[in-house]
Amino acid sequence: MKPQQQGFSLIELLICIGILSILLTISLPSMGTFTAKQRVAAQIYDIRHALYLTRSLAVTQGQVWKMCLLDAANACVKEGGQSIAVFRDDNNDHKLSGDEPLKKTSDIRGVTIKLSASNRAYVRFKMTGESKESGNFQVCSSVPDMTHGRQVIIYRSGRIRLSVDTNNDGYHESASGVIRCTPTA
């Protein structure tokens, strides 16, 4: 009687490893795109939350509150910011100073954000809940060759909404058309 064979032969193992490597090679690029899209989505929701907080603070405290992208010097910038901040700018210098109340800050990672708000580098809310600036935050992935983007849109009435993909083509639309990001080199 022949003894029963247990386990796999070397050739069977090599074939399995080859098949797995082919599957990984195919799936990794789409996994990178999925991760990049999730980073953009997470940043969009973080911006929306910060805007809601800014509006809520302005209404409940009866004072103007500001939300902006901060650079390394804690100054409000239209793009290239390192973090998002919600604060009360008491001296109106468009910078976060040490003595000004700060309610929220969050780092910007894996995305680029550009603010277009009435030609200003910040968004302010009045005590009535209305915004002093209208505009949008456009969020793009930092991944090269990824051209889709999303927006958080702010109306003067204080309404905040997210861009949507109305025709299911994978690209979100704004009032001026498809939101596309220029690839980073």
Q: What pLDDT score does 185 carry?
A: 47
Residue 28: enclosing H or E segment and its boundaries?
helix 10-61
Q: What whole-number distance in Å separates Cα of residue 178 and Cα of residue 148?
A: 9
- Answer whether 90's CB lies under 8 Å from 107's CB: no
Residues 179 and 151: beta-carbon distance below 8 Å: yes
- The whole-number pLDDT of residue 17 equals 94
Instruction: Provide CB contacts within 8 A for 166, sequence distance 6+.
Output: 173
Supply the pLDDT for residue 183: 61
Of 145, 152, 74, the closest CA to residue 113 belongs to 152
Res 149: pLDDT: 85
CATH 3.55.40.10 fits 38-178, yes or no: yes
> Residue 184 has what DSSP assignment?
P
pLDDT of 165: 85
What is the chain's pLDDT, residue by residue, as a tens digit (185 residues)? 666 777 888 898 999 999 999 988 887 777 777 888 889 999 999 999 999 999 999 999 999 999 999 999 999 999 999 999 999 999 999 999 989 999 999 999 889 999 998 899 999 999 999 999 999 999 998 887 777 789 999 999 999 999 888 887 777 877 777 777 776 54
Residues 6 or more apart in contact with residue 148 via CB below 8 angstroms? 37, 40, 141, 170, 171, 172, 179, 180, 181
Q: What is the pLDDT of residue 1?
A: 61
Asked if 77 contacts 95 with a C-beta cutoff of 8 angstroms, the reply is no
pTM confidence score: 0.82
